[in-house]
Structure 1
């Protein structure tokens, strides 16, 4: 099983008409998207999240059907709301309503006990690693988990909610075996710096596998400094919401299916890492063919072709 720790966010897509604004709400949040995608691909997934009891929380639980919610927290605080607008390429720009919401209120007691029993990999990141007051609890939990499972981190940068300094990627690399981020994330975190140099610094800090996704340009794969690229499949794009989360799910699903998760990725070589990323790119492309952060119902079969 793969455990995913982080937030679930209500993604409200705005449609403007004369004199009114209509919001169409879909379940989102990077970690929740990844957990749902793993389940859709056929990999057992456990979601460690704080799910509100409000109407959005009901929507999240419906979306996470098939995901183990045994250790999800039933939170009293409201859900986080993100209002998104899409540009002509289907790319979202978000405005967040996130103060005092459920996703950031983690306590050590909520992540204690058998939450990682039966787990080979922990995936986390996104806003849960940078939003107070719970960020220190989440980081400490991930660092401790690295002693027993593979750890994957996705910064999933949101500049409107956290400063550049809040994204302590170099520190996270001390416990992260896998680091997946987008080229937009990289441009925000390390503006103007060559991607190869940044990857090497993150390898030196501890991350074994670094993958930088580049939208229609594919992805750069760096395994301990050995680099290769994979192309992005051509699809009819509805929107790109959740494509990065789907990529992460595809990557972890593929590695898990080959028995490569559970340790420090010692059995992974550059050619195999490229195969994993190529599969992940196919999964990400599938996410672009549907509205919102979702995958087609037959995603496992389609991606496996």
Structure 2
């Protein structure tokens, strides 16, 4: 079986993204000002790893999602979104704990500002027994990150799984630093271990600012290369992305877009990158035979997928047929 025919697996959380909706006489629907103070929430399925899995499957990559899905109302919402996007969820444990909730307001630049309700929720309770079936999946790549790698008790089990899969599987990590839930120091302490395991590290400029305040992206890439990871991609918002492959670097611009919001844009970028590397038969082991041309093309495609996600509300990544023909 070639690497291209092997699926990509994505491990991590599903989060109910609850967006604040204006109410009152000028709002959409709901209570009027005469009814007293009110707040209406529009709940959409989200969570960085789940968003990545959805985006990958919509682009046409065979994708398995590995998440502990609650049996509550939000859990049913997550299942419906994943299945409708052609993501396989047969290895997802059914969890008795509640789903994680994130209440999101939007800043003036369209960026989401979150408050999390995540104590004792389903996403962080992984056991090695629950993760054991993943080793039989034969995935070409396992992508993970975000809170799954730092929230206990499950984080230790996830790291053990990465070490077990490493000989035959490309490992992709996105720290997706969330200071309201976990202090950046926690990520910073674990990052050298992750770099020693991972083949690909994808971070945003916000992640970089939390992990290494004041350090420029090029110097940060050198730090992570020395820790062991060969491929680092730092997304720079509207400025595109920096790709660094064992210290050989290139800047890739982003296409112009009228931003509705940036929710899920980084996850869509990761999906676009992995989709193109999967199509190039580059996944399935160490990333030791890539050309910069292949990487540049994959990152350029990823910026297109991210831009399309920014053009719509919420984490709603495009399907392959919805992308510009040039992509």
Tell me the TM-score range normalised by the shorter chain: over 0.9
Give the Å deviation of 1:118.
Answer: 3.1
* Aligned equivalent of 1:89, options 101, 109, 113: 109
Q: Which runs of 5+ in 1 are unaligned?
A: none
In the alignment, what sits opposite 1:2? 8
Give the Å deviation of 1:113.
Answer: 3.0
Give the Å deviation of 1:298.
Answer: 4.8
TM-score by length of 2: 0.90
* Aligned equivalent of 1:270, options 266, 274, 292: 292
In the alignment, what sits opposite 1:39? 57
Question: How many residues are aligned here?
Answer: 305
Q: Computing the radius of gyration over CA atoms, which structure comes out larger, 1 or 2?
A: 2
In the alignment, what sits opposite 1:191? 213
Note if contact 2:18-2:43 (Cα within 8 Å) is conserved in structure 1.
yes
Measured in 2, the distance between the counterparts of 1:299 and 1:284 equals 15
Measured in 1, the distance between the counterparts of 2:204 and 2:136 equals 28
Q: Deviations over 1:43-85 (max 9, x none)?
A: 0100010000100011101110111111011100000000001
- CA 154–27 in structure 1, closer or farther in 2 if over 3 Å, else same: same
- Counterparts in 2 of 1:251-290, with a 5 A limit? 251-290=273-312
Give the Å deviation of 1:155.
Answer: 0.3
TM-score by length of 1: 0.97
Note if contact 1:231-1:278 (Cα within 8 Å) is conserved in structure 2.
yes
Give the Å deviation of 1:271.
Answer: 2.3
In the alignment, what sits opposite 1:150? 170
Note if contact 1:10-1:28 (Cα within 8 Å) is conserved in structure 2.
yes
Give the Å deviation of 1:143.
Answer: 2.0
- CA 176–257 in structure 1, closer or farther in 2 if over 3 Å, else same: same
In the alignment, what sits opposite 2:199? 177
Note if contact 1:283-1:303 (Cα within 8 Å) is conserved in structure 2.
no
Q: Deviations over 1:144-177 (max 9, x none)?
A: 2111100000001100101122212111001100
Q: Please state if 1:233 is matched with 2:255.
A: yes
Question: SS of the residue aligned with 2:242?
Answer: strand
Give the Å deviation of 1:293.
Answer: 0.7
